[in-house]
Structure 1
Amino acid sequence: MALDVISTHLYHMENAVEHHADRFESLQDGSTAIFRRGQPFYFGIKFNRPVDKIKDIVRIVLVTGPAPAPAKGTSTALIVKDKEDLVEDKWDARFSNFTGSTVTVQVQIPPYAPVSVWKIIVHTARKGVAGVKQHRVETEVYILFNPWCPNDTVYMDDEIKLNEYVLNDDGKVWQGTYKEPKGYQWFFGQFEAVVLPSIMMLLDRASLSHQDRADPVKMSRTISAITNAVDDYGLVEGKWDGSFEDGTSPFAWISSTPIFDEFYNTQQPVKYGQCWVFSGVIVTICRALGIPCRSVTNYISAHDTNTSLTIDMYIDIAGEKLDSHPGSYTNDSCWNFHVWNDVWMDRPDLSKGYGGWQSIDGTPQETSDSMYRCGPAPVEAVKRGEVNIGYDTTFVYTEVRADMCVFKESEDGYWSRVKTLPNYVGKLIVTKKIGEILPGTDDMEDITDIYKNPFDSPEDKMAVKKAIKMVPIAQQIYDVEESQIEDVELKLFDIEQITLGESFKIAISLHNTSTEQRTISVVLSALSILYTGTTINKVKRSQANIVLNPNQSENIHVYVKPSEYMDKLSAHSLIRITAVVNVQETGQLWSQDDDFAVQKPELNIELSSEPRVDEPCVATFSFNNPLSVALTECTFSIEGPAIHRVIKFRNVLPNEKNVTHKEMFKPEKEGQPTVTVSFNSKQLTDIKKTITTTVQL
């Protein structure tokens, strides 16, 4: 008779350690095993009697997907043999040990196996006897990408980078402005129990075949789609209009964990996210699956809506800047910052030289092959201007290297291009440095040079030339020559920062360098904007007409009071000051913007005592309300290792000082945990503080 399987054991933790998977929480109850492809795992089987090596046949069958088939790579049947070694580049199995009626089997996973949930069935038979007995192993087996395996296409040959881009579950997403970048801690939580089941649910919704889940290029492209909820009922629903009453404000999230918890429990897209939220959860997904990944922020990021490689600005006959073409031909914009992701992989689908970092983006901006997704675009192709290489490389190239084209309305209603501002976007591209989280910008890494060449260098000129050659619309635009006398020198004075409640000044200097008189129209304005660059409120506008004699200089300014902007700010508290200047005699047109963030009150955190394991400690959070209105719908969010809390708080009085909340916690283990606390309300949002403390025994 064939062997009967009494029990099986997948040595969950022992295998997990060898597979760099021992931090996954779902291993704790023994119901799940997690392996990485390109490596072997050990599998214990207890039979009803000892194995007869000559007459008994033991076969290990592994299957995944709704219709497993060997030809699709979703099914394999391995006859277990008594041999010394395994073949590393394909499915294989051997007996590793015999102890009475218990055997240990070693199974080799090939480096091209689909990344999915697999089932294991043990088949037993006996030579010369008809029939096969089957035993289905109840344990779910996740097979993940293996960046430690040289034969896996996501291989990364640097242990320090692997620790950061795969194993680190804590990091930063960068916001603010290019003059004042701000890094906010984000807990990725890729090892939390809900993450892998949620990812598999999302992949099923995307209808990505299990066969294609072996390919990190197709997987990362799908990840960029399933992160947003537009096409396939994905993870997070995006919203930018500032009204979040029926969900959670994007500014309240400081961790991926509660997002995956809500999605897993409701199986509904989570409300709401914006670009940094999409980027944060993509890091979680990719690192959980074994794809090296990092969050990337591009300051002054172009959103090109007509694939022209340019951002188009329109100024009407009155000297007003318009948000879009008046005929809706294009609706280009410059985001104050935009956050996407880099993923690491080889590109066997492309020519050599395009492996390494690839850009993907989960924020739904433009469709790609009829779906809201972006990438993977090889960063090297972006830098070279080879916009025909990879997926959506044109879009990413424009985000970091677009020129600004200025169009002016004539008296007869026609629009003509009057100026091009080269290299207008991509002022600074950053990610978190490898290593621990540090204060301020100490842990910020400038990666601008991997995305673009120094402006006007021979390499930059060649990249621009290549890109234009591939885009017909761009060829038409760049064929138009500009000819204009520009003999008035102008400068808009930057504003570094102001504190909420302070006045600020919009100031411009003018100098007539010509030998003739110049009649000049000047429009100075202040706008409250979203981080996407979209105007939400007009704060102030001032117009002046002056005459400058030859070689004369003049300064013009206008003050903006707190009462004029306080109730008009967006959640990021961004203000754009703009100057538009028109010289009557020469037709010279000049426009310049400066964006700055209004600084919000500081959130203070004080601990009642030195934290110790299993001893209560009280944290006191406090801040001052600078607004002359009450704060409603108030919450404190706390995020850190083993801490995920959202606390509803009372309404805060207008101009209330020392607003205080106390929260008790009890550390579970020693170390140096980093914790982020965030206060949000309907009127004042995104007040954050991150602290690192030492917990002792």
Structure 2
Amino acid sequence: MAEVLDIGSCDLEFKYNNEEHHTDLNGVDRLIVRRGQPFTLNLHLQSGTFQPLASTFQLIAETGPVPEEKWGTKATFSLSDVISKKCWSASTSCSHGNIVTLSICPSPAAPIGCYTLTLDQGPKVKLGEFVLLFNPWCERDVVYLEDEEMRKEYVLSQDGLIYRGNPTKVTILPWKFGQFEPGILDVCLRILDENPKHLKNPGKDCSGRRNAVYVTRVLSAMINCNGDKGVLAGNWSGDYEGGVAPTHWSSSVEILQEWRNNDCCEVCYGQCWVFAAVACTVSRALGIPCRVITNFESAHDTNQNLLIEYYYNMDRESLGEDSVWNFHVWVETWMKRPDLGPGYEGWQASDPTPQEKSDGVFCCGPVPLKAIKEGELTLKYDAPFVFAEVNADVVKYVKLEDGQEFKFDGSTTHVGQCISTKSVGRDSREDITHLYKYPEEKSFPLKICYCNYSSVITQDALIRLMAILIDSDTKELYNKTRTIVLEDPEIAIRILGEPKVKRKLTAEISLQNPLPEPLEDCTFSLDGANLTDGKAITETFGTVGPRETATVKIGFTPTCAGLRKLVVDFSSNKLSNIKGFKNVIIGK
């Protein structure tokens, strides 16, 4: 008869395991591990010793509200001589007196999520709980990313840069993804649990979480709140009553915290770059390599005919629904595509901004970049829509009162320019247009004076100009539109003191008023992962005269060593949402 282990306690070795699995930035107060990689635990026996031939038992790992073998959300496995990294497995790495050390390896294809671990030797003993994530460090995981510098950038980096503006004037928005900030991982897991597929069939949904394509598609739908309990409400009206302007945000953390604290009610408001940034945070938190992408002169094709058709009446009023945005932002996630076959692995485009429905839901992607570049539009998911965003032809028509239509302008090269993302390991822009399409035309800058737009400046600091030319000989009409991005003043940041963990530092921040008018209600806000204790520090300055410089000093105390990004936000009555940042290396 097999001997029953008399287990007193189980040590899940939080610190050691989390460091080995690159999850220690989440904290070391619970076990967070990645697929396809072993972790260890110690069983402390109250009496007796472990005898490999006499003591037999099984281990049970379960996830989801109703774990079942058929869904693959319940795994039962026995001890073996050596660990297998192809499936759930376990072995004893050593045994000393009353301590038995087990090594356990989750399947590289297991569903991600919260698990319970139980030892079954007739009577069952709950050993503890752990969180299982995707593993870009594991070759057998579909999200495996070979390059370590890319893993640091696209999985571990908590800060980034988002590009906006237009092709002739690209502006930079620093963003705190903060995927390792306290509580954020739990918010990301809750997003999965609040999705309609989970509410309808929890077992099937939890089983689907083994598939990075499935999870990415769920996130694309749940980052926007259209038709579900998603995170963000979009608003492009210019009226942001009941919330804040999309330009207010510079961190995913406060958005996700607000969604959680308000019982999963939508956060108001977001636009494309906010949707994409939050999607990037959640993807990285769950272990899927992700980066934020900006497409300039981005098309929105409503009828999937790969044309952007502008219809106008004789008064130049728009009659159609197609449009071209001066910029649009989405995300790319890195994964293999076994559902599509070889050759489609790598970066996949997905778009959480609610535009058109896909399979009845406001989501888009993931679709391989290779499919977009080669025009393989039958591949899933939503290849025609993404292809049109970067490749659609523009055609313009005048529609007369009698119903006649006349083409008066168009372009085959205007859409999809200067597609951009942050470079790996550097605060510089990488142009990745070549990954989406083959080379096209060049763009030229246009400048106007402040006095020409001061009374009509928008919150996004954009100006759209339209010019119409009529050829007096041929009677042909030509139309061109350009969007001009106003240049923000630079925020200068100087760190006073020696940067070390738990040593108070001071940031000296200054900004020169570029306007010939005073700025009132001037406020600086300071934020940074592991620098400001998870929340922004605000300092009000008051009034800054024309061409004068505002300078403040704000103290903060770093909590973690390493390279950190300090983000500064400036707002006033005339200039707002001005962003600046500085990299700070915090010593131990």
TM-score, scaled to structure 2: 0.90
Q: CA deviation at 1:302?
A: 0.5
Match of 2:394 among 404, 409, 414: 404
Counterpart in 1 of 2:24? 22
3-state DSSP class of the match of 1:153? coil
| TM-superposition CA deviations, 1:530-552 (whole Å, max 9, x none) | xxxxxxxxxxxxxxxxxxxxxxx
**Aligned residue identity for 2:238:** G
User: CA–CA distance in 2 between the matches of 1:300 and 1:236?
Assistant: 24
| TM-superposition CA deviations, 1:315-355 (whole Å, max 9, x none) | 4324x3x3x32xxxx41111111111111111111133222
Q: Which runs of 5+ in 2 are unaligned?
A: 199-204
Q: CA deviation at 1:445?
A: 0.7
Match of 1:348 among 326, 338, 354: 338
User: CA–CA distance in 1 between the matches of 2:95 and 2:335?
Assistant: 40
User: CA–CA distance in 1 between the matches of 2:151 and 2:342?
Assistant: 23
Q: CA deviation at 1:596?
A: 1.1
1:364 and 1:373 in contact (8 A); partners too: yes
Counterpart in 2 of 1:52? 51
Match of 2:278 among 246, 269, 281: 281
Q: CA deviation at 1:220?
A: 0.5
User: CA–CA distance in 2 between the matches of 1:595 and 1:142?
Assistant: 46
3-state DSSP class of the match of 1:214? coil
Q: CA deviation at 1:247?
A: 2.9
**Aligned residue identity for 1:447:** I
In the alignment, structure 1 residue 99 sits paired with structure 2 residue 96: yes
Counterpart in 2 of 1:265? 261
Q: CA deviation at 1:277?
A: 1.4
Q: Structure 1 residues 641, 496: closer, same or farther in 2, change over 3 A? A: farther
Q: CA deviation at 1:377?
A: 1.2
Match of 2:566 among 670, 675, 683: 675
For residues 624-643 of structure 1, what are the structure 2 equivalents within 5 Å?
624=513, 626=515, 628=517, 631=520, 636-643=525-532
For residues 578-617 of structure 1, what are the structure 2 equivalents within 5 Å?
578-583=466-471, 585-607=473-495, 614-617=503-506
In the alignment, structure 1 residue 395 sits paired with structure 2 residue 385: yes
Q: CA deviation at 1:677?
A: 0.6
For residues 88-127 of structure 1, what are the structure 2 equivalents within 5 Å?
88-124=85-121
**Aligned residue identity for 1:449:** H
Q: Structure 1 residues 425, 72: closer, same or farther in 2, change over 3 A? A: same
User: CA–CA distance in 1 between the matches of 2:126 and 2:516?
Assistant: 64
Match of 2:32 among 31, 34, 38: 34
User: CA–CA distance in 2 between the matches of 1:347 and 1:695?
Assistant: 39
| TM-superposition CA deviations, 1:493-546 (whole Å, max 9, x none) | 965345xxx35xxxxxxxxxxxxxxxxxxxxxxxxxxxxxxxxxxxxxxxxxxx
Q: CA deviation at 1:381?
A: 0.6
Bigger Cα displacement from structure 2, 71-80 vs 49-58: 49-58
In the alignment, structure 1 residue 449 sits paired with structure 2 residue 449: no
Q: CA deviation at 1:358?
A: 0.5
In the alignment, structure 1 residue 645 sits paired with structure 2 residue 533: no
Q: CA deviation at 1:150?
A: 1.6
Q: Higher Cα Rg: structure 1 or 2?
A: 1
User: CA–CA distance in 1 between the matches of 2:35 and 2:587?
Assistant: 39
Q: Structure 1 residues 627, 413: closer, same or farther in 2, change over 3 A? A: farther
| TM-superposition CA deviations, 1:347-404 (whole Å, max 9, x none) | 1111332221110111111111121111001111111111111111111000000111
Q: Structure 1 residues 672, 97: closer, same or farther in 2, change over 3 A? A: closer
Q: CA deviation at 1:587?
A: 3.5
User: CA–CA distance in 2 between the matches of 1:369 and 1:285?
Assistant: 22
2:527 and 2:537 in contact (8 A); partners too: yes
**Aligned residue identity for 1:663:** I
Q: CA deviation at 1:415?
A: 2.2
Q: CA deviation at 1:660?
A: 4.3
Q: CA deviation at 1:146?
A: 1.2
In the alignment, structure 1 residue 300 sits paired with structure 2 residue 297: yes
Q: CA deviation at 1:638?
A: 2.9
User: CA–CA distance in 1 between the matches of 2:51 and 2:234?
Assistant: 61
3-state DSSP class of the match of 1:286? helix
**Aligned residue identity for 1:92:** S
For residues 363-402 of structure 1, what are the structure 2 equivalents within 5 Å?
363-402=353-392
In the alignment, structure 1 residue 240 sits paired with structure 2 residue 236: yes
User: CA–CA distance in 1 between the matches of 2:259 and 2:577?
Assistant: 23
Counterpart in 1 of 2:202? none
Counterpart in 2 of 1:133? 123
User: CA–CA distance in 2 between the matches of 1:667 and 1:193?
Assistant: 15
Q: CA deviation at 1:653?
A: 7.1
Identity of aligned residues (%): 34
| Paired residues, number | 573
Q: CA deviation at 1:289?
A: 1.2
In the alignment, structure 1 residue 254 sits paired with structure 2 residue 254: no
Q: Structure 1 residues 2, 640: closer, same or farther in 2, change over 3 A? A: closer
Counterpart in 2 of 1:189? 178
3-state DSSP class of the match of 1:684? coil
Match of 2:412 among 422, 432, 449: 422
User: CA–CA distance in 1 between the matches of 2:337 and 2:26?
Assistant: 29
| TM-superposition CA deviations, 1:95-137 (whole Å, max 9, x none) | 221111221111121111001111111222xxxxxxx222223
Q: Structure 1 residues 684, 453: closer, same or farther in 2, change over 3 A? A: same
Q: CA deviation at 1:215?
A: 0.4
**Aligned residue identity for 1:70:** E
2:243 and 2:268 in contact (8 A); partners too: yes
Q: CA deviation at 1:670?
A: 6.4
User: CA–CA distance in 2 between the matches of 1:46 and 1:94?
Assistant: 16
2:531 and 2:556 in contact (8 A); partners too: no
2:174 and 2:579 in contact (8 A); partners too: no
2:232 and 2:269 in contact (8 A); partners too: yes
User: CA–CA distance in 2 between the matches of 1:119 and 1:570?
Assistant: 52
| TM-superposition CA deviations, 1:264-310 (whole Å, max 9, x none) | 33333322221111111111111111111111100110011121211
Counterpart in 2 of 1:470? none
Q: Structure 1 residues 611, 13: closer, same or farther in 2, change over 3 A? A: closer
Counterpart in 2 of 1:496? 446
Counterpart in 1 of 2:11? 9
Q: Structure 1 residues 654, 317: closer, same or farther in 2, change over 3 A? A: farther
**Aligned residue identity for 1:35:** V
Bigger Cα displacement from structure 2, 244-253 vs 191-200: 244-253
Counterpart in 1 of 2:314? 317
3-state DSSP class of the match of 1:46? strand
Counterpart in 2 of 1:62? 61
For residues 450-529 of structure 1, what are the structure 2 equivalents within 5 Å?
450-455=435-440, 495-498=445-448, 502-503=449-450
1:637 and 1:679 in contact (8 A); partners too: no
Q: CA deviation at 1:413?
A: 4.3
User: CA–CA distance in 2 between the matches of 1:695 and 1:285?
Assistant: 26
| TM-superposition CA deviations, 1:409-447 (whole Å, max 9, x none) | 33634223344311221111011111132xxxxx11110
1:625 and 1:659 in contact (8 A); partners too: no
Q: CA deviation at 1:2?
A: 3.0
1:176 and 1:597 in contact (8 A); partners too: yes
3-state DSSP class of the match of 1:151? coil
User: CA–CA distance in 2 between the matches of 1:695 and 1:46?
Assistant: 39
Bigger Cα displacement from structure 2, 274-283 vs 665-674: 665-674
| TM-superposition CA deviations, 1:154-208 (whole Å, max 9, x none) | 1222222222211222221111221121222222112222121111111011134
1:149 and 1:155 in contact (8 A); partners too: yes
Q: CA deviation at 1:693?
A: 4.6
3-state DSSP class of the match of 2:23? coil
User: CA–CA distance in 1 between the matches of 2:406 and 2:556?
Assistant: 64
Counterpart in 1 of 2:136? 147
User: CA–CA distance in 2 between the matches of 1:684 and 1:399?
Assistant: 31
Q: Which runs of 5+ in 1 are unaligned?
A: 125-131, 438-442, 457-492, 504-560
User: CA–CA distance in 2 between the matches of 1:153 and 1:696?
Assistant: 35
User: CA–CA distance in 2 between the matches of 1:246 and 1:312?
Assistant: 34
| TM-superposition CA deviations, 1:638-666 (whole Å, max 9, x none) | 33542231526366478584344432234
User: CA–CA distance in 2 between the matches of 1:192 and 1:599?
Assistant: 32
Q: CA deviation at 1:696?
A: 6.6
